[in-house]
Chains A and B, each alone.
Chain A
Amino acid sequence: MSANINRIIRAESLNKSFGGVMPARNVSFAVDVGELRCLIGPNGAGKSTLFKLIAGIEQPDQGNVFLFERDVSSYPPFRRVRLGVGVKLQSNRAYKQLDIGHNLRVPDIAARKRGVGGDRGAGVSREQAMELFGISHVVDGGRLVSELSHAEQQWLEICCAISEKVGLLLLDEPTAGMGIEETKATGRALLQLKERGMTVVVVEHDMAFVRQVADRVTVLHQGEIFAEGRMEDLAERQDVRDIYLG
């Protein structure tokens, strides 16, 4: 990781509205190199919108996004990704009708094209990531992805987003639909990725998972950043409990 980059994500006063709904109101958000940040909040709080604004899937009505301290506000998603970002979308979106080999080739082709010279990556290869998630064994054989278990499909999707040149991993609900043990295993793998220098931002519902992995937590509520801090501190705040329970 290049020494001169400290802020890996910086979003400034993002606004986004869909008709009368405003899932992002003046959101300013920053993540430092090496963090494992969780974005939490009740349904409709704007977590996924913020995620999409960072990845470039949605364009903000106002505001700017910086990735690796570069203004990427006008970049389409693929150009942001090429800077060294890995993205896993919400729900299970592996190419289910294609075999596993084909699923792995598609990101590998893009990663090969990215070439040399990027010092933003954490240097974790897709193969190493598959070892961390315990799915190295699925590489062999021409099985369809739909034949894998749900958790294996999710892990495969995360690993597909990782290559040597990826330094920032954006994950939208990576443990959705997983059992307790699988969720824990996901958390352990993400912590190991973090140890190797990967910055990780996770949108998540599962509080046990958030407690397990997060350095810092950002709480969104009605399109605004409601609170930010360490999980232990936030858990004691009555207003944070209120928006979750009340």
Chain B
Amino acid sequence: MDTAPLAELAQPIPKAQGFFMFKRLKVEDYLVATLWIAVAVYGSVISDYSASTAAFYILNVPMALGLAMLWGIAGVLSFGQVAFFGLAGYTYGIIAGNIVSNLALASVAGVVGGLAAALVLALVFGYFLFYGRVEAWIVPIVTLVMTLILATFMGQTAGYEWKVGQVLLGGYNGMTNIPPMHVWGVDLFGRPLFYYVLAVVVVAWLLTVVCLRSSFGDVLVALREDSLRTELFGHDVRLMQLLCFSVAAILAGVSGVLYVQWGNYITPDSMGLLQATLPVVWVAVGGRTSLLGVVISTLALNVLSFQLSSSGNQYAFVILGALLVVAMVVPTFGWSQRVAAVFGRRG
């Protein structure tokens, strides 16, 4: 009997988490990787001005991927993504705007602070939501309320008394003159900004892939299918949902920080009712569970919105609304899974 511990030692060591990746990757992951390469090449052939616009098209992808994970994979629909987007953007503006002596430090501290703010809000709000075992259908409502409260609050910060250090919050006019990303002595604009945004977006996508193709992702899918049964295997459902909610919030925060670094301003409208529905539309049209679908639909719909609104009309929201209705009522909308299936058996 004394040999039992030795026998245990002789057991093969379970494969390290790092090795699972290539076996567990799906066809769509390779397709998205290919897409990023194509986007990178595209960025090199367009004009400097177009590259700046293209940066806007891709910067919303992390927020959409977060919602795809939360809603498509784990089954928790949230209208809170833009709240984390806005909070991270405003926090970046406050921090970076107050560190004028060192621009590089300002942008790095702003990024860290913005993401931390999103994470803290997600942890606090998500704790009450998931540890309180709020029923699933209530989550979209309370997350929407959280978003609208933040937007309303920021909307009334117009006066000079709403000043954090040297930075004015700006009420409905928003916060302006937010410092851009500053590295190696230069502010990032145009093509360098595009490549910086692309690099961040790719890292955010990789984070999503790692989450979903690991055992964490396996359990998230099980939660969506039957959360009680999953709990009865011994999984702490509340913790898993809180983690997923927090990762989604950080991804939304990444988009928020990229947005203010790109446009140098943010208004409470970025957390308004219309904006709150946009990630839901992108993810729904992308087929919810497919990262490929969500990435493509987010890119396509952002291009569409940008083109329509820069030509000066409001049709963008009408079209996006119609697309949402179609995506929700047509049950066989898994177009992206079919695309992936063309390239390989197990898309």
Q: Which residues of A contact B (CB under 8 A)?
A: 55, 57, 76-78, 81-82, 87, 89, 93, 95-98, 102, 105-107, 109-111, 113-114, 142, 160-161
Please give, as numbers and ranges, the residues of chain B lying within 8 Å of A55 by CB-CB distance.
Answer: 232
Contact A106 B228 (CB under 8 A): no
Known contacts A78-B235, A89-B232, A109 near B218 by CB under 8 Å:
yes
Within 8 A of A (CB), among B227-241: 228-238
Please give, as numbers and ranges, the residues of chain A lying within 8 Å of B215 by CB-CB distance.
Answer: 105, 109
Considering the chains assembled together, what is the distance between the CA atoms of A77 and B232 in angstroms? 6
Considering the chains assembled together, what is the distance between the CA atoms of A164 and B226 in angstroms? 24
Considering the chains assembled together, what is the distance between the CA atoms of A111 and B235 in angstroms? 9
Q: Please name the 3 residue pairs, one residue from A and one from B, whose CB atoms are nearest each other, closest first.
A: A110-B234, A110-B233, A81-B234
Please give, as numbers and ranges, the residues of chain A lying within 8 Å of B116 by CB-CB distance.
Answer: none
Please give, as numbers and ranges, the residues of chain A lying within 8 Å of B167 by CB-CB distance.
Answer: none
Contact A110 B235 (CB under 8 A): yes
List 25 A-B residue pairs with CB atoms under 8 Å apart, sorted by A's residue number.
A57-B228, A57-B232, A76-B238, A77-B231, A78-B231, A78-B232, A78-B235, A81-B233, A87-B232, A95-B221, A95-B222, A95-B225, A95-B226, A96-B225, A98-B221, A106-B235, A107-B233, A110-B233, A110-B234, A111-B234, A113-B234, A114-B234, A142-B346, A160-B233, A161-B233
Considering the chains assembled together, what is the distance between the CA atoms of A113 and B14 in angstroms? 13
Please give, as numbers and ranges, the residues of chain B lying within 8 Å of A142 by CB-CB distance.
Answer: 346
Contact A81 B232 (CB under 8 A): yes
Contact A93 B234 (CB under 8 A): no
| Total number of residue pairs linking A and B with CB closer than 8 Å | 64
Q: Which residue of A lies closest to B226 (CB)?
A: A93
Please give, as numbers and ranges, the residues of chain B lying within 8 Å of A102 by CB-CB distance.
Answer: 218, 221-222
Please give, as numbers and ranges, the residues of chain B lying within 8 Å of A105 by CB-CB distance.
Answer: 215, 218
Q: Which residue of A lies closest to B232 (CB)?
A: A87
Nearest CB of B to A180, in Å: 28
Known contacts A78-B237, A142-B346, A106 near B231 by CB under 8 Å:
no
As a 0/1 sequence over residues 229 to 256 of chain B, the CB contacts with chain A under 8 angstroms (1 = contact) are 1111111111000000000000000000
Contact A78 B219 (CB under 8 A): no
Contact B233 A98 (CB under 8 A): no
Q: Which residue of A lies closest to B237 (CB)?
A: A78
Known contacts A98-B222, A102-B218, A106-B218, A89 near B229 by CB under 8 Å:
yes
Q: Which residue of A lies closest to B215 (CB)?
A: A109
Nearest CB of A to B72, in Å: 13
Q: What secondary structure prevails in chain B residues at the interface with A?
A: helix
Please give, as numbers and ranges, the residues of chain B lying within 8 Å of A113 by CB-CB distance.
Answer: 234
Q: Which residue of A lies closest to B133 (CB)?
A: A76
Contact A109 B237 (CB under 8 A): no
Please give, as numbers and ranges, the residues of chain B lying within 8 Å of A87 by CB-CB distance.
Answer: 232
Q: Which residue of B lies closest to A57 (CB)?
A: B228
Within 8 A of A (CB), among B193-238: 215, 218-219, 221-222, 225-226, 228-238
Considering the chains assembled together, what is the distance between the CA atoms of A109 and B235 in angstroms? 9
Nearest CB of A to B152, in Å: 35
Considering the chains assembled together, what is the distance between the CA atoms of A57 and B230 in angstroms? 12
Nearest CB of A to B155, in Å: 40
Considering the chains assembled together, what is the distance between the CA atoms of A110 and B218 in angstroms? 11
Q: Which residue of B lies closest to A160 (CB)?
A: B233
Q: Which residue of A lies closest to B345 (CB)?
A: A142
Please give, as numbers and ranges, the residues of chain A lying within 8 Å of B232 by CB-CB distance.
Answer: 55, 57, 77-78, 81, 87, 89, 161
Contact A89 B235 (CB under 8 A): no
Nearest CB of A to B130, in Å: 12
Q: Which residue of A lies closest to B14 (CB)?
A: A112
7 further contact pairs, Cβ within 8 A, besides A78-B234, A106-B233, A161-B232: A77-B228, A78-B232, A95-B222, A106-B235, A107-B234, A109-B215, A161-B233
Please give, as numbers and ranges, the residues of chain B lying within 8 Å of A81 by CB-CB distance.
Answer: 231-234
Q: Which residue of B lies closest to A82 (CB)?
A: B234
Nearest CB of B to A68, in Å: 14
Please give, as numbers and ranges, the residues of chain A lying within 8 Å of B346 by CB-CB distance.
Answer: 142
Q: Which residue of B lies closest to A77 (CB)?
A: B231
Question: Which of B219, B236, B238 makes the CB contact (< 8 A) with A106?
Answer: B219
Contact B234 A98 (CB under 8 A): no
Please give, as numbers and ranges, the residues of chain A lying within 8 Å of B222 by CB-CB distance.
Answer: 95, 98, 102, 106
Please give, as numbers and ranges, the residues of chain B lying within 8 Å of A98 by CB-CB distance.
Answer: 221-222, 225
